[in-house]
Amino acid sequence: MKRLLLGIVIGLITLSLFSQEEHKELSTYYLIRHAEKQIVNNPNPELTDEGILRAEKWALIFKDIKFDAVYSTDYLRTIATAQPTAQSQNLEIFLYHPIKMDIKQFLKETEGKTVLMVGHSNTIPAFVNKLIEKEKYKDIPDENFGNLYIVEFSNNMITDKLLHLD
């Protein structure tokens, strides 16, 4: 009888652990490139008037999405792109370095959350590729500021999609 009870308890613990692993919360990542930047002899330019309008447009596009966090690289153009969305949702902007970021730590910290990330024409596709563990997306062409990448993690499955918005 003790062996039967012990077997049942071990089975329940194993089932519970398996069940927890299979039913992780949904994590959703929205990734965009910064809006149009000024063409100046400066490695850290601000947004153009058109870029400011695009950043505000992103905030409107995202108005029905409840973000838990907003991330941006530490550049004027990315922060200014993220700002309207962060401000509309009363969120601070977390700065990240796309090359130095520990992807496993990031995923752990953002598990079960909805996150907006703003980066660059080369860093956003590369980051998406790291998230999905595939070399699927190429750098964004210089004239394209309307790509929206969406990556979701749910029940040990990863889905990704690319939308083109203007």
Residues 6+ apart with CB under 8 A from 89: 66, 67, 70
Q: What is the mean pLDDT of residues 67-81?
A: 98
Q: Domain 25-164 falls in which CATH fold?
A: Rossmann fold (3.40.50)
pLDDT in tens, 31-43: 999 999 999 999 9
How does residue 25 score in pLDDT terms, banded at 50, 70 and 90? confident
Is the pLDDT at 24 greater than 80? The verdict is: no
Please report where in the chains the tokens 């590729």 appear, as a residue: 129
- How does 38-64 read in b/e, with b if 16+ C-beta sit within 10 Å? eeeeeeebebeeebbebbbebbeebee
Give the pLDDT score at 122: 97
Is the pLDDT at 153 greater than 80? The verdict is: yes
| Single-letter amino acid code for the residue at 20 | Q
Q: What is the mean pLDDT of residues 52-65?
A: 98
- The alpha-helical segments, DSSP class H, found in 63-102 are 76-88
* pTM of structure: 0.85
CA-wise closest residue to 63 among 96, 27, 89: 89
